[in-house]
Amino acid sequence: MSTDAFLADPAAAAPALRSASASRDAMVGNPEEDDRDRKPSTLVGEAGQGSRDRSVSSKHPALVQSSTSIKAPLSIKAVASDYVQLTKPRIVTMILVTTVASSAIAAGGMIPTLDLAWLLAGTGMVAASAGAANQIWERVIDCNMLRTATRPLPDRRISVSAATIYTAILGLFGTAILWFRFGPEPAAAGAATWLLYVLVYTPMKTRTSHNTSVGAVAGALPVLIGYTAAGGSVTDWTGWLLFGILAAWQYPHFMAIAWLYRRQYAEAGFCMSTTVDPSGRSAGWQSIAGAIAILVCGVALCLIPEGVLGGMMASLAIVAACLPMLKASLRFATSPDDQIARKLLRSSLLVLPAVLLVVTVRVLA
């Protein structure tokens, strides 16, 4: 995707689109994409979904045309909410949780409160900037998906110019905080996260299903921000095993999402494993591989500190935490359907904090 496409004016979403999306109030939000709550099962199972999506776009060419006008904001609270939504706050929250864990593991305990506050501010700004840049890039294609059409940019509640300035400020200030407060390594990890997520992963989503692997790397890099900021080195095995947990986790998590929204992804033009292989076999096997990798990395981290008994107990806890997701992945691979995909998605949301908690306690004990 060119730079011109990145900076072009937003598509003007027609009122009929909002009416169409409002009628599907059963749709639930996607925790990774950080969209408004809607229930995927009511859409994924509908045979005529594709034609309805196409009819919305074809009847309203303004969805894919440039416009310089935006809607008048209703209130300061509404505007603030839109700018928060632009950053994908659920993803940012997950990143901040992993940053706390990785910094504590590197330091052998919680770092000073002021340092932690600066670390979370810098990391959060960089992550928020990446999420906003992703939405700027995908604002036109987002008009073609009911689950993303009500985002601030497709719905014209924020202008592209305002979003771009906001994105730049967050990215620059966040990187500066990491550099001047913690040094070049955390700042480099933050910059690498932004560049990989925005300039590589985002355009790959419409070109190849391998975008998931690139996205997994981009999503896991922030763990190195916290680890190196607290005294860890990029040459430490511990840091890379933490990275492995985060990268592997994204496979079962995202494959479940990709299955639930496979028809909308296909209609919008995204190239996902579930659109390239509609049988779900590829997505299922990738979920299994990710679940196993999380287990292996977690057990390895528990065995690094001294103490055989502590290592064994922590390893058993890791196995217990990963088992539900592994079982869901196996079922998803053998007989993929919406119900199993939702179970896999829910289990993935529980596994990551559980594994990080066990590893953190083991290292600090």
**pLDDT tens, position by position, 346-356:** 999 999 999 99
Tell me the backbone φ, ψ of residue 11, rounded to 5 degrees.
-75, 145
Confidence of residue 16 (pLDDT cuts 50, 70, 90): very low
Determine the pLDDT at residue 129: 97
Determine the pLDDT at residue 70: 54
Tell me the backbone φ, ψ of residue 66, rounded to 5 degrees.
-75, 150
Determine the pLDDT at residue 58: 40
Confidence of residue 144 (pLDDT cuts 50, 70, 90): confident
Determine the pLDDT at residue 74: 65
Note the pLDDT tens digit of each residue in 250-272. Answer: 999 999 999 999 999 998 899 99
The average confidence (pLDDT) of the chain is 83
Query: Taking residues 283-300, what's their average pLDDT?
Result: 96
- Please report, for residues 32, 116, 184, 216, 232, the alpha-carbon distance to residue 102 in angstroms, rounded to integers and kept in the order given: 20, 11, 17, 17, 9
Q: How many angstroms separate the CA atoms of 8 and 66, rounded?
A: 7
Determine the pLDDT at residue 124: 97
Determine the pLDDT at residue 93: 94
Determine the pLDDT at residue 306: 84
The helix/strand count (H/E) of the chain reads as 19, 0
Confidence of residue 365 (pLDDT cuts 50, 70, 90): confident
Q: How many beta carbons lie within 10 A of that of residue 312, not counting itself? A: 13
Residue 226 has pLDDT above 80, yes or no: yes
User: Which of these, 203, 212, 330, lies nearest to 275 by C-alpha position?
Assistant: 212
Q: How many angstroms separate the CA atoms of 70 and 68, rounded?
A: 7
Residue 57 has pLDDT above 80, yes or no: no
Note the pLDDT tens digit of each residue in 86-138. Answer: 999 999 999 999 999 999 999 999 999 999 999 999 999 999 999 999 999 99
Q: How many beta carbons lie within 10 A of that of residue 169, not counting itself? A: 12
Determine the pLDDT at residue 288: 97
Query: Taking residues 234-244, what's their average pLDDT?
Result: 94
Question: For residue 358, what are the contacts with CB-CB under 8 A and spacing of at least 6?
Answer: 298, 302, 314, 317, 318, 321
Residue 167 has pLDDT above 90, yes or no: yes
Query: Taking residues 189-218, what's their average pLDDT?
Result: 95
State the Rg of the chain over Cα. 21
Residue 209 has pLDDT above 60, yes or no: yes
Determine the pLDDT at residue 354: 95
Dihedral sign from CA coordinates of 137, 69, 164, 246: negative
Q: What does the longest C-alpha to C-alpha distance in the chain come to?
A: 67
Confidence of residue 146 (pLDDT cuts 50, 70, 90): confident
Q: Strand, coil or helix: what is 66?
A: strand
User: What 8-state DSSP symbol labels residue 323?
Assistant: H
Note the pLDDT tens digit of each residue in 319-348. Answer: 999 999 999 999 999 999 999 999 999 999
Query: Taking residues 186-205, what's their average pLDDT?
Result: 96
Confidence of residue 23 (pLDDT cuts 50, 70, 90): very low
Residue 55 has pLDDT above 80, yes or no: no
Query: Taking residues 158-180, what's their average pLDDT?
Result: 97
Confidence of residue 307 (pLDDT cuts 50, 70, 90): confident
Proportion of the chain in helix, strand, coil states, percent, rounded to 5: 75, 0, 25
Query: Taking residues 306-330, what's their average pLDDT?
Result: 94
Find the DSSP H helices in 196-236.
202-204, 211-220, 222-229
Q: Tell me which residue has tokens 């959060």.
A: 124
Q: What percent of the chain has pLDDT over 90?
A: 72
Domains assigned to the chain: 1-63+74-231 (no CATH), 236-365 (1.20.120)
